[in-house]
Amino acid sequence: MVDILREFLAHWGVTALALWLTSFIFHGISFSSKKSLLISALLLGLVNAVIRPVVVILTIPLTLVTFGLFLLVINAVMMMLVSALVPGFRISGFWTAFFASIVVTLISIFVGMLIFGPEDSLLNMPAQQGVMV
């Protein structure tokens, strides 16, 4: 139980760090306080775990037609959804959310590999779950 909590807190921290760093790269993203940053990171993880899979399944035809590029749009929409729900988290527009979601993902992968090691990174997840790559 303690290990699960520790891993959850580590992932939450990685997401918060990625959002914080991304806010320095993109001037269209801002947080009014540390509290809004932490809530945004928590809610982004929740949205990506619960809502995003449903949206991905519903948009499979569009994702296939665009050769998977529509997933980037879904990531941006999830980020905009979180900014609409969290007071103090502001994203200036769709394109800011689009490119920021890419940067947040890249930072999360990189920092996650540093913390959890390359064998537990997001890049190796399908192989660990028995899916052929």
The predicted-structure confidence for 55-96, as pLDDT tens digits, reads as follows 999 999 999 999 999 999 999 999 999 999 999 999 999 999
Domain count across the chain = 1
DSSP secondary structure code for residue 122 in this structure: G
Task: Note whether 80 and 91 are within 8 A (CB).
Answer: yes
What's the rounded Cα separation, in Å, for the pair 56 and 44? 16
In a domain, 109, yes or no: yes
pLDDT at 132: 41
In a domain, 133, yes or no: no
Domain extent, residue 77, equals: 2-128
What's the rounded Cα separation, in Å, for the pair 92 and 95? 8
Task: Note whether 30 and 92 are within 8 A (CB).
Answer: no
Average pLDDT, the chain: 89
Percent of the chain scoring above 70 in pLDDT: 89
